[in-house]
Amino acid sequence: MITIRDAELIDLPVIIDIYNSTISGRMVTADLEPVSVESRIPWFNEHSPSFRPLWVVEDDGTICGWISFQSFYGRPAYNGTAEVSIYLHPDFRGKKLGKYLLEKAIEACPDLKIKTLLGFIFAHNEPSIKLFTRFGFEKWAHLPKIAELDGIERDLVILGKRVL
């Protein structure tokens, strides 16, 4: 049974394990080396259930992924805009869990007072672009050759959706 709940600090090691599992694929994150739990405590503390939640998704009590809402640009005028990020354990990728999480994120936006959702996605990450596009996200920006992964320059696209 799939459930979503607010993350707790005790969940951070699993959240980081899932995040680190994506680094070597060079499709999801711009980090080049694994991050430590300790280094991510400030990031964890930036989240709150009522403003910028960090949710874990569990399958029969086992954390299999997470989704976070991050403030955009960090200024009060942008409080109605949030970046959404989804990370899944390798064993749970390709099983429509990302679709489920993105749907739940969009549904939560009115309660979170979010009017606009953004996804920052590498242009070569076609599965994520396809997922977000399926939910009505559109390409709002294209930043060519903004990242370098293993000597290859990569483009970043920003997909956006008005949800209110």
Condensed to tens digits (0 to 9), the pLDDT of residues 24-38 reads 999 999 999 999 999
Q: Which residues pair with 48 in a beta bridge?
A: 52
pLDDT, mean over the chain: 96
Element holding 73 (H helix, E strand): none
The set of residues, in sequence order, having a beta carbon less than 8 Å from that of 58 and lying 6+ positions away, is 2, 3, 4, 5, 64
Report pLDDT for 164: 83
With a pLDDT cut of 70, the percent of the chain lying above it is 100
| Helix pair angle (126-134, 97-112), 10° resolution | 50
CATH number where 79 lies? 3.40.630.30
Number of domains present in the structure of the chain: 1
Condensed to tens digits (0 to 9), the pLDDT of residues 44-97 reads 999 999 999 999 999 999 999 999 999 999 899 999 999 999 999 999 998 999
Region of residue 84 (phi > 0: left; psi between -120 and 50: alpha; otherwise: beta): beta
pLDDT category at 107 given cuts 50, 70, 90 is very high
Residue 71 burial (10 A CB sphere; 0-12, 13-18, 19+): middle
Which residue range forms the structural domain that includes residue 29?
2-162
Length of the chain: 164
The set of residues, in sequence order, having a beta carbon less than 8 Å from that of 99 and lying 6+ positions away, is 131, 134
